[in-house]
Amino acid sequence: MSDSKKNAPKRRFEEFSNANDWEQRKLGELADIVGGGTPSTLNDEYWNGDIDWYFPAEIDDQIYVFGSQKKITQKGLEKSSAKILPVGSVLFTSRAGIGKTAILGKEGATNQGFQSILPYRDTLDSYFIFSLTHELKRYGEITGAGSTFVEVSGKQLTQMPILVPNLKEQQKIGTFFKQLDNTIALHQRKLEKIKALKTAYLSEMFPAEGESKPKRRFAGFTDDWEQRKLGEVLDNQYNGQTPSRENDTFWKGSINWLSSGELNRAVVSETIEKITKAGQVSANLKMISKGTFVLAITGLEAAGTRGNCAILGVDTTLNQSCMALFPNEKKLDPSFLFQWYRKVGEEYGIRYTQGTKQQSYNAELIKILPIKLPRVNEQKQIVEFLGKLDNTITLHQRKLKKLQNIKKAYLNEMFI
């Protein structure tokens, strides 16, 4: 690749470095835009046929789609505004979540929640336009209208301005991003596989409800796990406060200050905000040491917050929505506490929290949470094993993030 000095992308394949500038066109000049439809659900003759029929909710992170969840018959197709779309069509969700895309790997039809892009073979490459998903989404969101929900029409989509090179350069760019997307998808699958493996091990290495022993165990351990209350195996608990926001001298210092929104169910290695020594003193905040287990105690009515926790990777102060737990290390290993809570946190956040509008824990509620424990030496073996899986997951997450950032950079430099 070479850097272009003309009215073209910053980065261009060498063989096109002296090619013509990219041309300003409208999407409707390069492709047909085709809507969809739904056969009557009251007529059984229209359904369970052999024609793929897509609806927006089934379009997610996949690149190609080769089969829909629901099928319609030829009669259903004829009695609705659905149309057969050829292989290579780019499905584009046009309402209630504008901008999800996928390429048809097998001909099919869609419901009315799509405005699909059918590229003209001599002017537009399918993967080139698919790679512009972010631009299609942005255009649809800006242009779309509606009182009940925002929708972009086929007519509006035909007017979308687009800069394009000749077809050969489009195909080269499309092939490049296809290879990059395939690599990203491969790493995503690897990550999902190791996460599923971790979930399976968690299920088997902790006793099921009503059981006193797990299904899977390290050699040499045969004793029943002991049913305890969390308060019986803790030495202390602590939650923090927020220094006054009205006093600028309390903020933008060098002391870490952690909020519950930053608990990532992993290791927290930095905090978004910092406070000053004066801020720490004003709120009487203790410094909590690296390696401590912390959980979210307020706002647990939200599924995304419920069960949030972390192990501190830095010394930090806490806000009032975070609680640090200090186990009696003769009875409970801190890392075992972390692995256990990641497993049960969602369920416990529903069963044991209190509050009408906002579901929360307090120190007394946390003390009564039930926990089954083996001896500490078995706890340590369990967390060593699970910790290795966590490290592998983190490694795959970093690789995936790096690839996604690379793609983002290339999209910036290879399109205008």
Q: What length does the chain have?
A: 416
Query: Which residue did the predictor score with more confidence, 277 or 302?
Result: 277
Residue 30 parent element (H or E) = helix 27-30
**pLDDT at residue 414 is higher than 90:** yes
Confidence of residue 305 (pLDDT cuts 50, 70, 90): confident
Backbone angles phi, psi at 166, to 5 degrees: -70, 165
Give the whole-number percent of the chain exceeding pLDDT 70: 98
Q: What is the mean pLDDT of the chain?
A: 94
Token pair in block for residue 321:
């929505």
Query: Which of 192-206, 237-251, 301-315 is predicted least confidently?
Result: 301-315
178-204 tens-digit pLDDT:
999 999 999 999 999 999 999 999 999
Q: Give the pLDDT of residue 304.
A: 75
- Domains of the chain are 23-164 (3.90.220.20), 167-220+375-416 (1.10.287.1120), 226-373 (3.90.220.20)
pLDDT in tens, 398-412: 999 999 999 999 999
If you search the block for the tokens 């409970």, which residue do you land on?
Answer: 332
Q: How far apart are CA 240 and CA 257, in angstroms?
A: 9
**Mean pLDDT of the region 344-354:** 92
Record the pTM: 0.82
- Is the confidence at residue 148, as pLDDT, over 70? no
What crossing angle do the helices spanning 334-351 and 167-205 adopt, rounded to 10°? 100
- Rounded average pLDDT over 302-312: 88
User: What pLDDT was estimated at residue 301?
Assistant: 82
Residue 312, classified by CB atoms within 10 Å of its CB into exposed (0-12), middle (13-18) or buried (19+), is buried
pLDDT digits (tens, 9 = 90+) for 19-65: 889 999 999 999 999 999 999 999 999 999 999 999 999 999 899 99
Confidence of residue 252 (pLDDT cuts 50, 70, 90): very high
- How confident is residue 358, by pLDDT bands cut at 50, 70 and 90? confident
Do β-strands 293-296 and 101-104 pair in parallel, antiparallel, or remain unpaired? unpaired
The pLDDT of residue 1 is: 67
Q: What is the pLDDT of residues 64-91, one digit of tens each?
A: 999 999 999 999 999 999 999 999 999 9
How much is the pLDDT for 268? 96
Residue 29 confidence (pLDDT): 97
**Residue 354 bridge partners (DSSP):** 360
Return the ∠ at Cα 37 (arms to 36 and 42), rounded to 5°.
160
Give yes or no for residue 397 having a pLDDT over 60.
Answer: yes
Could you give the residue ranges of the DSSP H alpha helices within 98-248? 126-130, 133-143, 154-158, 167-205
Residue 4 predicted with pLDDT over 60: no
**Which residues does 374 contact at the CB level (< 8 Å), separation at least 6?**
221, 223, 225, 226, 382
User: Is the confidence at residue 280, as pLDDT, over 70?
Assistant: yes
Mean pLDDT value across residues 387-393: 95
Structure tokens at 129: 């336009």
Amino acid at site 327 = P
pLDDT of residue 97: 84
d(CA 114, CA 204): 43
Residue 347 tokens, joined = 């369920």
What confidence score (pLDDT) does residue 147 get?
59
Residue type, 231: G
Tens digits of residue pLDDT in 100-117: 999 999 999 999 999 999
Q: What pLDDT does residue 3 have?
A: 55
Which backbone phi and psi does 45 adopt, to 5 degrees?
Answer: -65, -15
